[in-house]
Structure 1
Amino acid sequence: MDSHDPVRTAEPRPGVLLVTLNRPHVRNAIDRALAHAMDTALTRLEEDPCLDVGILTGAGGHFCSGMDLKAFPAEGVPLVADRGLAGLTRARGRKPLIAAVEGAAVAGGFELALACDLITAADTAFFALPEVARGLIAAEGGAIRLPGRIPYHVAMEMLLTAAPLTAPDAARYGLVNHLTPQGEALEAALTLAERIQTHSRDAVHITKQIVQDTRGLDDHTAYTVQNPLSTPVFTTTNATEGATAFTEKRPPAWHR
């Protein structure tokens, strides 16, 4: 893969796909080329049976500064089909995706992180949604997701005043799973990926789907949606293996 490609992929450990946004000269701002390259990488994550977990990070000490405003007048918003910004913000991937954030995660870059399932961040990182200052809207998940992830009034201050949120404050509000020293967010993400990989793949996938499909529903409706997804899991080979391994006090040997 060319070092100048807008997105680089690697497999730092078996079953883990590392997707690195690679436009460090513009803090990994998203233009159309990067968006399509990232969509290709996420499609690979979903379709390759040997891959279990994805990690999204940025090159050059920053996660992502959002949409490339210089490219915007000519290219428009870099959406990919019905999958949203860079093929992620409106997608419904089965496999867990972890954001490893160093430096700035701003505007669309923050929306990419919000679309991930877990977030690790360096204690020097920061998040912001400054769209209103540019005459724009945080329309790729910022205005929808953020008020449900942190206290409402904190989210509204970010959305309406463009105020940034430091990673330590984001961790205090529960938005960041693991706060690390500068330069160590990726290692923390790899540790989370390894922990996910020790569990049954089908149980992980169905758990994520249930969360996606039932958010915002009342309990009765949520169970109605969940039951057809969860009930078959209890009759799988892996369910039997999990129970047997627990009884025999040994690690499970999952069927892949």
Structure 2
Amino acid sequence: MPKHDNHISYELSNDIALIGIDRAAKRNAMNQAMFEALGRAATRAQEEARVAVIFSHGDNFSAGLDLAEHLDRDPVSSMHDSRAQHAILNLLEQGRIPFIAALQGATIGAGLEIAASAHVRVGDETTYFALPEGKRGIFVGGGGSVRVARLVGVARMMEMMLTARTLTASEGFSCNLLQFITPRGEALAKAIELARGIAKNSALSNYAIINGLPRIRDASHDDGLFFESVLAALTLAGPDAKAGLREFLEKRADRLKPAVADAAKTSAG
């Protein structure tokens, strides 16, 4: 049975940590205590798992912040909360293991900020996205102006915040908010399937991918290429690389196969 901590469930299944947002009666709206519990779960996952999956209990991933908690907050307290959320979501984005988000229903505001901190996002066909902060007289505070903007582009994010319109799962797929779309109710199963495959990768390669690629993106052209060479040499020197290359050369490794005909509906490539 999963253990609960302030509406955040945690369960370890072999090498995969399953972290669930469990406040369905409030559409999984996030308060500060839940963010802190999410941080504790993410820390634990990185101590005992090779991959983590973040999902939701109920019909919605998260409808955003619990705004009632922030109604009377002063600017200094609000800034403190925002910076704490940044640190917590950095644990996901810049940690030791890959995180996969399994989405369904409302993925709005802070919910989208959490999803954007994951490295792979799977959504079922009920998933929809929105950033209604402009209509609420507020601004994103959980890292969305960096993470979401880098996924969809500043122009798209600006339009989403100004108009508060929703994006369907297919629209989210087209602007990089999703890498996979599944039939209703199947996002978690797909995320776990992906996690099992990723867990078989070299832990060093996984670490280099999730921490190296974002930094290379932010580097200058020449610095990015140099950093790539450092990571290539570091991973190649590892024991997992030696075993993996030998397995491939001896024709014992699984060969890549062409994608199935309907893959365009469910994956980015």
Which residue does 2:262 correspond to in 1?
Answer: none
Which residue does 2:187 correspond to in 1?
Answer: 185
Letter in 2 for 1:130: P
Which residue does 1:62 correspond to in 2?
Answer: 60
* 3-state DSSP of counterpart to 2:9: strand
Displacement of 1:233 in angstroms is 1.6
Displacement of 1:8 in angstroms is 0.5
* 3-state DSSP of counterpart to 2:20: strand
Contact 1:31/1:78 (<8 A) preserved: no
Displacement of 1:145 in angstroms is 2.7
Contact 1:77/1:85 (<8 A) preserved: no
Change (3 A) 1:3 1:226: closer
**Whole-angstrom CA distance in 2 between matches of 1:197 and 1:162:** 37
Displacement of 1:206 in angstroms is 1.3
% identical equivalent positions: 28
Contact 1:200/1:238 (<8 A) preserved: yes
Moved over 4 A (4+): 1-5, 74-83
What TM-score does the superposition give when structure 2 sets the normalisation length?
A: 0.83
Displacement of 1:209 in angstroms is 1.4
Contact 2:82/2:141 (<8 A) preserved: no
Displacement of 1:63 in angstroms is 0.4
Which residue does 2:203 correspond to in 1?
Answer: 201
* 3-state DSSP of counterpart to 2:71: helix
Give the structure with the higher percent helix. 2
* 3-state DSSP of counterpart to 2:65: coil
Which residue does 1:139 correspond to in 2?
Answer: 141
Q: What is the RMSD of the two structures over their aligned residues, measured on CA atoms?
A: 2.4
Change (3 A) 1:109 1:89: farther
How many residue pairs get aligned? The number is: 249
Q: Does 1:16 align with 2:46?
A: no
Name the stretch that deviates more: 226-235 or 32-41. Answer: 226-235
Contact 1:21/1:28 (<8 A) preserved: yes
Displacement of 1:139 in angstroms is 3.1
Name the stretch that deviates more: 122-131 or 70-79. Answer: 70-79
What TM-score does the superposition give when structure 1 sets the normalisation length?
A: 0.87
Contact 1:35/1:78 (<8 A) preserved: no
What stretches of structure 1 of length at least 5 have no aligned partner? none
Letter in 2 for 1:166: T
Name the stretch that deviates more: 147-156 or 174-183. Answer: 147-156
